[in-house]
Amino acid sequence: MASDLTGGCSCGAIRYRLTAAPIFVHCCHCTQCQRLTGSAFVVNALIETSQIEMLSGEPQRTDGPSESGRPHDIYRCAACHTAVWSDYGRRGYLRFVRVGTLDDPSSVSPDVHIFTRSKQPWVNLSGGAPAFDVFYEMNKLWPPEALARRKAAAGG
């Protein structure tokens, strides 16, 4: 993975830099992500909010749909409406950065595939990352350093 992860929206008004590697990377195949992205899945890099350095612009929070009933805030460019990241459950300390908004999306690959019960049948998951019908047990899958980063970001 590249050490300098920069990205932004499609019009260039929003530019950001990740100052650390992502904690963990999800490839989500749920139908909600398919609708929100207009694609077969979304790749989200989970990272501490404090590790996102804004270079220009400021994304605007919009309310997103949520099948779980928990809040889903989507942060978008006010000009082009590109979704650059989400906050699931209003955990202000953690963001789910849309890997497709990175300047080099190929620099980040999924650590896990989730909600594969609704993945498109033509999507091949032979890349080696574990896959789950719905979700997984974080404490069993995440490396200890990732769990420690998440705990520290949450304040304890």
Structure tokens at 93: 């300390």
Judge whether residue 68 has pLDDT over 80.
no
Judge whether residue 62 has pLDDT over 50.
yes
What pLDDT digit, counting tens, does each position of 81-115 carry?
999 999 999 999 999 999 999 999 999 999 999 99
Adjacent-strand bridge partners of 135: none
pLDDT at 1: 45
In the sheet where 83-88 sits, what is the strand order? 60-63, 72-76, 83-88, 94-98, 42-48, 24-28, 112-114
- Rounded CA-CA distance 26/110 in Å is 5
**What mean pLDDT, rounded, does the chain reach?**
94
Region 31-45: what's the mean pLDDT? 94
Amino acid at residue number 14 = I
Judge whether residue 123 has pLDDT over 50.
yes
Domains, in order of start, for the chain = 5-153 (3.90.1590.10)
Region 116-140: what's the mean pLDDT? 95
Amino acid at residue number 124 = N
Structure tokens at 89: 């459950």
